[in-house]
Amino acid sequence: MKPATFTYCSPSTIEEAVKLLEEYGDTGKIIAGGQSFIPILNMRMSEPECLIDINQINELNGVRVEEGVLKIGALTKQRELEQSDAIKIHVPILSEATPYIGHVQTRNRGTVGGSVAHADPSAELPLCFLALDAEIVIQSIDGTRKISINDFFITYLTTEVMPEEILTEIHVPLSEHTGYAFEEFSRRHGDFALAAVACILSVDEIGKVDKVRLVLGGVDAIPLLAEEAMEYLAGKSITEETIERAVELAVKDADPDEDLHASKEYRVHMAKVLTRKALIKAYNRALGKEV
């Protein structure tokens, strides 16, 4: 399994990269960590004319907080995210979810932006960023645009990033939420999730749910924002009854594919189990209870 021939470019600025993207259009492809893309090339499922390696673009690296927004550069390594103190303090759900991405040996190379741009519906980071209501920053020779993650995923492995565009940053608003949880089930550690759930939750002064965002992965072509369950839970106490109702609402639109790893029914069942666990964990954390 060897890739087909290609021209290799290694720009050192975003400016140069977007010029190359414009020049090559559909036939040029960005390579970041290569942990999803090189297997695709090795199996010749893609044969681009030009590979635009963005690893030398230093301005795409790193995590910083600016005016209440956590900004993560697209080229930030998944391993760096996992170990970052800023992430642990400001968005601990990311520290909790990152170790589920592949293995330490793939996280040493794989990037945050690559994971979001690749948009596998069971990938951990897209789920978390959707739960966190993030914004995605995209650039082309025409300039920069920002898009809400709610409108970002189109279908399986397809996003709003156009062939001549590059994803440069992910912006996470720092809110007062204190409850969070990430739950996942896969056959072996490091495998893609059969089902996964990300939840962000805050409570009011009497312990009722103030705001909640709930996202299910592995059950549809894109990460599924469980809007009905979210609306239902707002203003309610978390009890056995409200959780059960929320769980039913959350999987209402779930339509997972069946494959050799799991049947449709099994995935939906796992999504329910994980949603229940995530809601309870996030709620307890929001109340300041140890979990």
Partner 1 sequence: MSNLSIEQKMNVSLSINGREVEAEAEPRKLLSDFIREDLGLTGTHVGCEHGVCGSCTVLYNGAAVRSCLMFAVQANGSDIQTIEGLAKNGEQHVLQQSFTECHGLQCGFCTPGILMSSLEMLNSGEEPTKQEIKEMLSGHLCRCTGYTGIIAAIERACGIKKCKEGDN
Ligand X SMILES: Cc1cc2nc3c(=O)[nH]c(=O)nc-3n(C[C@@H](O)[C@H](O)[C@H](O)COP(=O)(O)OP(=O)(O)OC[C@H]3O[C@@H](n4cnc5c(N)ncnc54)[C@H](O)[C@@H]3O)c2cc1C
28 or 179, CB closer to partner 1? 28
Q: How far is the CB of 238 from ligand X (least distance, A)?
A: 29
Among 28, 35, 63, 195, binds ligand X (CB under 6 A): 35
Q: How far is the CB of 184 from ligand X (least distance, A)?
A: 9
Q: How far is the CB of 206 from partner 1 (least distance, A)?
A: 39
Q: Quick one: three-class SS letters along the chain?
A: CCCCCCEEECCCCHHHHHHHHHHHHHHEEEECCCCCHHHHHHCCCCCCCEEEECCCCHHHCCEEEECCEEEEECCCEHHHHHHCHHHHHHCHHHHHHHHHCCCHHHHCCCEHHHHHHHCCCCCHHHHHHHHCCCEEEEEECCEEEEEEHHHCEEECCEECCCCCCEEEEEEEECCCCCEEEEEEECCCCCCCCCEEEEEEEEECCCCCEEEEEEEEECCCCCCEECHHHHHHHCCCCCCHHHHHHHHHHHCCCCCCCCCCCCCHHHHHHHHHHHHHHHHHHHHHHHCCCCC
Angstrom distance (rounded) from CA 239 to CA 243: 6
Stretch that binds partner 1, among 104-112, 142-150, 153-161, 169-177 (CB under 8 A): 104-112
Tokens of 217: 């992965």
Using rule CB under 6 A, residue 192 touches ligand X: yes
Among 117, 137, 195, 222, binds ligand X (CB under 6 A): 117
Question: By rule CB under 8 A, what count of residues binds partner 1?
Answer: 35
Could you report how far apart the first and last alpha carbons of the chain are, in Å?
Answer: 46
Among 167, 170, 201, 271, binds ligand X (CB under 6 A): 167
Using rule CB under 6 A, residue 114 touches ligand X: yes
Give residues 173-192 in contact with partner 1 (rule: CB under 8 A).
188-190
Stretch that binds ligand X, among 109-117, 146-154, 228-236, 261-269 (CB under 6 A): 109-117
Among 11, 73, 102, 218, binds partner 1 (CB under 8 A): 102
Using rule CB under 6 A, residue 195 touches ligand X: no
Residue 192 interacts, among partner 1, ligand X, none and using kind-specific CB cut-offs from 5 to 8 Å, with: ligand X
Among 14, 19, 22, 49, binds partner 1 (CB under 8 A): 49
Using rule CB under 6 A, residue 124 touches ligand X: yes
Stretch that binds ligand X, among 82-90, 115-123, 238-246, 253-261 (CB under 6 A): 115-123
Using rule CB under 8 A, residue 45 touches partner 1: no
